[in-house]
């Protein structure tokens, strides 16, 4: 089937952090109207809602969220669907929304997500997040996500023969970088905080699950994000600087006992990113910067390798050498990523789209990156759902 070119019209995002006074629908409305105001359309032009949320039932006692959210933003009656894919929820929603426009099902849609994990508290938040690991063999053994990525860090150290203490120092540099960038991003959870961390600060912070310390981990976050999509032809008539969706990919995997040593190679991510490259007609060398799912410091390193930017076992060296800094060859997470900006799970994927669109439109003034092509990477569960999206300032093949 021949697909139409699709473009981002507008993007919106709340400040990430603590929002005890707003519901999931109200948070999303804030992000939506920011996106709507820069899209030069009317509400009646939006034909469907694609909404990502992970654990609204556990944190807010709310399910069946699509209709509630649509009504909150003045779109009562339109088709509205909630997507759940753990931390990749709104990225999966985005990919579905993209294909709906590309194939002609709709001409204009809104996609995004919201989550309130900070407000839920540590006990509920941790239990809620743990539902994304295998419910029979992993969660019953007490495995939560710090445990998953602590295993990954130790496995990485052994597999690539990097002494654990040396790897921990290089992982700390991911935290330092992302906190530095998050500290100057007004919408980040850690705005004006932790912007001048040192390696010893990361290593000596509270041990969460050895070898991961507190500063190796992203926080629990309340927040929302929204993106309005339409055909490229319509976008070019409506706004000055459309951002085009060039390629998307998605892949999956089962429990860790099935993945085994493939865990640190993140094979689903390799499949997903290659799918996105193929659709876009690009290679890793064509990507100017990337928003990577850095739920933990080791996660950013593993992802950068699986996506083809560095050889397996060399991602930690790339961080230490400054390759992934904003003035390096491949800036990673110039907005602070999950570690520095925050991680409202159901909103994270489209929050990455928000940053990529702002940077490509030269509207991101905090850590500017000169770029024509950007990419996102969102991980759901313990490598169970992977989504990659490539966006650019020119249409595919132009």
- Residues 177-230: tens digit of each pLDDT: 999 999 999 999 999 999 999 999 999 999 999 999 999 999 999 999 999 999
Catalytic residue among 19, 87, 108, 293: 87
Q: Cis before residue 211, ω within 30 degrees of 0?
A: yes
Q: Provide the number of structural domains found in the chain.
A: 1
The answer to whether residue 317 is domain-embedded is: no
Task: Answer whether residue 1 shows pLDDT above 80.
Answer: no
Please answer whether residues 258 and 151 qualify as being in contact, where contact means their C-beta atoms are separated by less than 8 angstroms: no
Task: Answer whether residue 10 shows pLDDT above 80.
Answer: yes
Give the list of residues 6+ apart from residue 302 with CB closer than 8 angstroms, or none.
152, 156, 264, 265, 266, 315
Calculate mean pLDDT across residues 283-308. 98
Burial of 160 (0-12, 13-18, 19+ CB in 10 A): middle
Domain that holds residue 80: 6-121+220-238
Q: Which helix (H) or strand (E) holds 129?
A: helix 122-130
- Backbone phi, then psi, for 344, in 5-degree steps? -80, 95
The answer to whether residue 31 is domain-embedded is: yes
pLDDT for position 153: 98
The answer to whether residue 92 is domain-embedded is: yes
Please answer whether residues 233 and 372 qualify as being in contact, where contact means their C-beta atoms are separated by less than 8 angstroms: no
Nearest to 112, CA basis, from 35, 2, 47, 212: 35
The two tokens of residue 309 are: 């930017």
CA distance 83 to 93: 6
Please answer whether residues 117 and 16 qualify as being in contact, where contact means their C-beta atoms are separated by less than 8 angstroms: no
The two tokens of residue 335 are: 């907005």
Calculate mean pLDDT across residues 15-29. 98
pLDDT for position 262: 86
Task: Answer whether residue 283 shows pLDDT above 80.
Answer: yes
pLDDT for position 2: 83
19 labelled catalytic: no
The answer to whether residue 290 is domain-embedded is: no
Helix axes 89-102, 348-360, angle to 10 degrees: 60
Long-range contact list for 193-202, CB < 8 A, 24+ apart?
A: 194/340, 199/169, 199/172, 199/173, 202/171, 202/172, 202/175, 202/176
The answer to whether residue 128 is domain-embedded is: no
The model's pTM: 0.98
The band of 141, judged by pLDDT with boundaries at 50, 70 and 90, is confident
Q: Terminal CA-to-CA distance of the chain, rounded, Å?
A: 20
The band of 29, judged by pLDDT with boundaries at 50, 70 and 90, is very high
Task: Answer whether residue 367 shows pLDDT above 90.
Answer: no
SS3 186: coil
Mean pLDDT of the chain: 97
Please answer whether residues 350 and 52 qualify as being in contact, where contact means their C-beta atoms are separated by less than 8 angstroms: yes
The two tokens of residue 187 are: 């919408």
Catalytic residue among 19, 179, 293, 343: 343
What single DSSP character describes residue 287? -
The answer to whether residue 368 is domain-embedded is: no
The answer to whether residue 83 is domain-embedded is: yes
The answer to whether residue 180 is domain-embedded is: no
pLDDT for position 142: 86
Residue predicted with more confidence, 249 or 140? 249
Alpha-carbon torsion, ordered 56, 60, 61, 64, to 10 deg? -40
Give me the sign of the Cα torsion angle 169, 172, 174, 180.
negative
Q: Which helix (H) or strand (E) holds 316?
A: helix 315-320
The band of 26, judged by pLDDT with boundaries at 50, 70 and 90, is very high
Q: Report the CATH number at residue 59.
A: 3.40.47.10
pLDDT for position 139: 87
The band of 398, judged by pLDDT with boundaries at 50, 70 and 90, is confident
pLDDT for position 309: 98
Calculate mean pLDDT across residues 56-62. 96
Calculate mean pLDDT across residues 59-77. 97
Beta bridge partners of 6: 231, 245
87 labelled catalytic: yes
């Amino acid at each position: 089937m021949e697909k139409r070119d699709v473009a981002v019209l507008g993007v919106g995002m709340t400040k990430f952090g603590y929002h005890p006074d707003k519901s999931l629908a109200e948070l999303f409305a804030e992000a939506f109207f920011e996106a709507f105001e820069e899209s030069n359309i009317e509400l009646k032009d939006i034909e469907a809602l694609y909404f990502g949320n992970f654990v609204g039932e556990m944190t807010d006692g709310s399910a069946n969220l699509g209709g509630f959210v649509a009504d909150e933003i003045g779109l009562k009656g339109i088709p509205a669907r909630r997507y759940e894919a753990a931390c990749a929820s709104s990225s999966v929603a985005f990919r579905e929304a993209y294909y709906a426009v590309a194939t002609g099902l709709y001409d204009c849609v809104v996609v995004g997500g919201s989550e309130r994990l900070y407000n839920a508290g540590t006990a509920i938040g941790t239990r809620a997040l743990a539902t994304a690991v295998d419910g029979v063999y992993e969660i019953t053994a007490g495995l939560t996500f710090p445990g998953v990525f602590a295993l990954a860090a130790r496995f990485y150290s052994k597999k690539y023969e990097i002494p654990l203490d040396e790897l921990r120092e290089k992982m700390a540099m991911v935290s330092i970088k992302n906190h530095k960038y998050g500290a100057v991003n007004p919408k980040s959870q850690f705005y004006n905080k932790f912007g001048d961390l040192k390696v010893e600060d990361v290593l000596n912070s509270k041990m969460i699950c050895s070898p991961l310390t507190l500063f190796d981990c992203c926080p629990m976050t309340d927040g929302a994000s929204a993106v309005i999509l339409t055909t490229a032809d319509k976008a070019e008539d409506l706004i000055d600087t459309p951002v085009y969706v060039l390629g998307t990919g998605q892949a999956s995997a089962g429990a860790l006992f099935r993945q085994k040593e493939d865990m640190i190679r993140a094979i689903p991510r390799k499949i997903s990113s290659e799918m996105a490259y193929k659709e876009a007609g690009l290679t890793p060398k064509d990507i100017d910067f990337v928003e990577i799912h850095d739920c933990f410091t080791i996660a950013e390193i593993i992802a950068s390798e699986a996506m083809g930017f560095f050889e397996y076992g060399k991602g930690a060296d790339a961080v230490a050498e400054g390759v992934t800094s904003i003035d390096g060859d491949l800036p990673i997470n110039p907005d602070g990523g999950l570690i520095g900006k925050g991680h409202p799970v159901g909103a994270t994927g489209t929050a990455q789209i928000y940053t990529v669109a702002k940077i490509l439109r030269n509207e991101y003034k905090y850590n500017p990156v000169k770029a024509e092509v950007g990419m996102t990477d969102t991980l759901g569960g313990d490598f169970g759902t992977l989504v990659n999206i490539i966006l650019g300032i020119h249409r595919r093949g132009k």
